Structure 1
Amino acid sequence: MNIMRVVRDLVTTHRVSGLHARQLRVLEDAKGNIEVAVDAVGARAGDFVITIAYSSARIATGDPRVTTDLTIGGIIDDWNEDKFTGRIPAAS
């Protein structure tokens, strides 16, 4: 599992049938890498989330027939930018 931030929704007009009608989100990791994930929990832009990868990602959607290798499995309630990037906050 990894912690990532939801950047935005991803809307597709055509997709393989294995994705069904699942919501897709664009995610960014702490290094700025971008990935697309199936959203199984209803995350919104700006949310920090826990992702589930590889074959477990299919199971996390609730339907192992969904063709994905990255699924959002949870929304993090208490997380901030400094924890995400590893930056030390400035002294106040």
Structure 2
Amino acid sequence: MEIHRVVRDLVTTKRNFWLAAKPLRVVEDYKGDLSVAVDPIGCKPGDFVITITISAARIAAGNPMITTDMTIGGIIDHWSEEEWRS
């Protein structure tokens, strides 16, 4: 698991069948690198989140058939920019 910040929503017009009902978010790590994550919990831009990767991401998304390698597993309640960048 890693900590990321949600940057924005990602809108796509065509998706794999299993991704059709799942929101996608662009997330940023502490170095500024961007990734895309499935969001089964409903985050908003600016939220700090815990992300789950690799094969566990499919289980965290709620269905092992979902083709993802990153899923948001939780919103962090108390976290600051200073803690994140250090």
How would you bin the TM-score normalised by the shorter chain? over 0.9
TM-score (norm 1): 0.91
**Rg: which structure is higher?**
1
Q: Deviations over 1:6-65 (max 9, x none)?
A: 000000011122313110000000000000000011110000000000000000011111
- Which consecutive aligned stretches of 4+ in structure 1 deviate over 3 angstroms post-superposition? none
What corresponds to 1:71 in structure 2? 71
Count of aligned pairs between the two proteins: 86
Please, which runs of 5 or more residues in structure 2 have no aligned partner? none
Please, which runs of 5 or more residues in structure 1 have no aligned partner? 87-92
**Aligned partners of 1:61 and 1:47: how far apart in 2?**
18
Q: Say what the alpha-carbon RMSD is for the aligned residues.
A: 0.7
What corresponds to 2:21 in structure 1? 21
SS at match of 2:58: helix
% identical equivalent positions: 60
